Amino acid sequence: MQPTSETELEVAIWRGGDSGNFQTYLVPQRADQTVLDVVTWVQRHLEPALAYRFACRVGMCGSCAMTVNGRPRWTCRSHVAKVAPGGRLEIAPLANLPVIRDLATDMTGFFDKWQAAGGRFVPSASRADPPARVDPGSPARRAADAGIECINCGVCHGACDVVRARPGDLGPAALNRAWTLVNDQRHGDVAGVLRAVSEDGGCHGCHSQGSCTTHCPLGLDPSAAIAGLKRRTLLNWLGGEGRP
């Protein structure tokens, strides 16, 4: 199928589950059109059964990530003109996750990894205690602040070559979360987080290739977070903690 004019986009969209194929659609080109707009147009006009996931449409909820022309992106804030200047789009489900159907992936494993990395906050004080006094300028708080804006979109996880090679590895998002907790002075189980990320499949398998940082739509730096975890676990080990 070829676009009939310059005002149409040629859009190949993944149909099916883990095994499936791309189907091509022609979609009217609009100014300021996002990739999510294109997917929505296809579902409303051509393919009512097309499965995909989105919620906020403004880059806050982290649910619309897909693989666009081979790269993981948040589709709601990816403008077609910028990511597909040639007018051709290939939209696939986010990589490194099982496909439920079409563009919707099963993110259960992704969030399980957050738990496996010790990502659950453990309070170190009760509600009877006064609020913690956190110095916003302290190095630890600044390190935590650098990572807490993550919206759990899974783009970094889809970009990670280590996760691609070893699907059970925790991946950048879970490790980034772990690093924010390690630097949160209110967290009551830092040792537990460091133990969790030191298991096989944790931070030490990272090659520091930086795909996560390159692709993070919010400009976060999970690669630096992982480097921080490596440093911290190593220092702990040298200090006699966390040895087998």
Partner 1 sequence: MTLWLFVLQRGSALVLAPLVVAHLALVVMVSRDGLSAAEILARTQGSTGWAAFYGLFVLAAAVHAPIGLRNVIRETTPWRGRGLDFAMALLFLVMLALGLRAVIAVVGS
- Which residues of the shown chain bind partner 1 in the complex (CB under 8 A)? 162, 165-166, 198-200, 202, 204-205, 230, 233-234, 237, 242-244
Q: Which is nearer to partner 1, 87 or 242 (CB)?
A: 242
Taking the CA of residue 242 as centre, how many other CA atoms within 13 Å lie in the half-sphere pointing to its CB?
Answer: 19
- Residue (of 144, 143, 169, 145) closest to 156 by Cα position: 169
Q: Which is nearer to partner 1, 180 or 198 (CB)?
A: 198
Smallest gap from residue 77 Cβ to partner 1 (A): 32
Smallest gap from residue 243 Cβ to partner 1 (A): 7
The answer to whether the beta carbons of residues 226 and 147 sit under 8 Å apart is no
Smallest gap from residue 52 Cβ to partner 1 (A): 31
Q: Which is nearer to partner 1, 105 or 233 (CB)?
A: 233
What is residue 239's three-state secondary structure? coil
Classify residue 221 as left (phi > 0), alpha (psi -120 to 50) or beta.
beta
Q: Which is nearer to partner 1, 120 or 166 (CB)?
A: 166
What is residue 38's three-state secondary structure? helix
Taking the CA of residue 222 as centre, how many other CA atoms within 13 Å lie in the half-sphere pointing to its CB?
Answer: 32
Q: Which is nearer to partner 1, 25 or 179 (CB)?
A: 179
Cβ contacts of residue 40 below 8 Å, gap of 6+? 54
Smallest gap from residue 96 Cβ to partner 1 (A): 14
Smallest gap from residue 195 Cβ to partner 1 (A): 9
Q: Which is nearer to partner 1, 169 or 184 (CB)?
A: 169
Smallest gap from residue 208 Cβ to partner 1 (A): 12
**Identity at 23, one-letter amino acid code:** Q
Alpha-carbon distances, residue 179 vs 142, 210, 219, 232, 235 (angstroms): 12, 16, 16, 10, 15
**Residue burial 56-73, b: 16+ Cβ < 10 Å; e: rest:** ebeeebbbbbbbbbebbb
